[in-house]
Amino acid sequence: MTANRRRGEVGAVLDGQEYRLCLTLGALAELEAAYAADDLAALARRFATGKLSAIDLMRVVGAGLRGGGNDISDDAVGRMQVENGAAGFAAIVAELLTVTFGAAQAGEGGQNP
C-alpha cells in the first residue's frame, strides 16, 4: 500500500496491518461536528495548539481511517496498538494533520487551511 501525500494520504501500521488514512471532506466534517467547530479554520486552530488528548488521537485516526475507506469505529481505534504506543499515534496524527492543513499544524500557527 502506497499513500499519496499529494492527495492528503498517509500510511500507518495499526495492529500489524497497513492502512491508508486521509482526512477527506467527510472526515473533516465529522471532526468539525465532534469538536463543535464552526469551520475548517477553527478546526485547524484547535489542532495547531499541539495539545492533543488521547480522545483527540482516537478521533483523528478514526476519521482518517474512515476517510481512507476503512470501516473502523473510534472505539476500535482505541483498542488498536501501534509501534511506540501513544507517541506512535501522535506521530500518525501529526503527519495526517500536516498533509491536510500544511505546516501550520506543526505549531507554526496563524495560517488558515
* pLDDT in the model for residue 5: 87
User: Is residue 98 assigned to a domain?
Assistant: yes
Q: Is residue 67 part of a domain?
A: yes
Q: Is residue 110 part of a domain?
A: no
Cα distances from 90 to residues 28, 38, 82, 96, 104, in angstroms, run 18, 24, 10, 10, 16
Residues of the chain falling short of pLDDT 50: 104-113
Is there a domain that residue 72 lies in? Answer: yes
Determine, yes or no, domain membership for 1. Answer: no
Overall domain count for the chain: 1
Domain-embedded: residue 112: no
pLDDT at 103: 62
Asked if the structure places residue 107 within a domain, the reply is no
Are 60 and 101 within 8 A, CB to CB? no
Q: Residue 94 sits in which domain range? A: 11-102
- Whole-structure pTM over 0.85, yes or no? yes
Length of the chain: 113
Instruction: Supply the DSSP symbol for 94.
Output: H
Q: Is residue 46 part of a domain?
A: yes
* pLDDT one-digit tens code per residue, 35-66: 999 999 999 999 888 889 999 999 999 999 99
